[in-house]
Amino acid sequence: MIVPFTFDSLPVTRWKNGGGETREIIKVPSPDAPFLWRASLATLSADGPFSLFERVDRVITLLEGGPLWLRGGEINHRLERWQPWAFAGEWPLRSEGIAGEGLDFNIMTQRNRASAQVEVIRESHCPTSEGVAFVLQGRWALGGQQCDARSGMAWQSASPGEFLPLTDDALLLLTEITLF
């Protein structure tokens, strides 16, 4: 399954605390959990707590907006633009220092069944059989389909083919999922 998307085409869900909204890209089902893996984009407009997810590993990447802090317990991490950061879904974190609207990418995997590798790439790549690609800037050919900034594709069970940068400034946020 290969699903192209644009930011504006994704359904919007407001957060209960009013601090932002989520646009779900893909949620791969699991027979005994809410998902096997899930990817989403979130707009941030106010500081607040993260939802807790037991037995889930997460990677967050700030895509737009200024740096912010993720704090909780002994964690004091400065989240910088385009720098993926992995953490356990059980960690009681909150965002602090949000000034203006921002956007982040979130990937969550069931810890005992899958893992995610997230990176920003500039060069051609042939991805694994599960994942998500989101164009940060420039233009890319993703499996033969041209995508501009704020668009991309999710895929499952088969590689979508080669990803090629089409402009000199092309940057891609690539998430590859490994199933256990």
Give the integer Cα–Cα distance in Å for 43 and 50: 13
In this predicted structure, the answer to whether residue 42 has a pLDDT above a threshold of 90 is: yes
Reported as a pLDDT band with limits 50, 70 and 90, residue 74 is very high
| Cα end-to-end span (Å), the chain | 19
Give SS3 for 123: coil
Give SS3 for 168: coil
Give the CA distances from residue 81 to residues 16, 47, 117, 178, in Å, rounded to whole numbers and listed in that order.
25, 17, 17, 25
Same fold, 9-112 and 116-179: yes
Q: Which architecture characterizes domain 116-179 according to CATH?
A: Sandwich (2.60)
Residues recorded for the chain: 180
pTM equals: 0.95
Average pLDDT over residues 118-144: 97
Give the integer Cα–Cα distance in Å for 109 and 115: 6
CATH of domain 9-112: 2.60.120.10
Domain coordinates of the chain in residue numbers? Answer: 9-112, 116-179
Over residues 149-174, the pLDDT tens digits come to 999 999 999 999 999 999 999 999 99
Position 151, amino acid: S
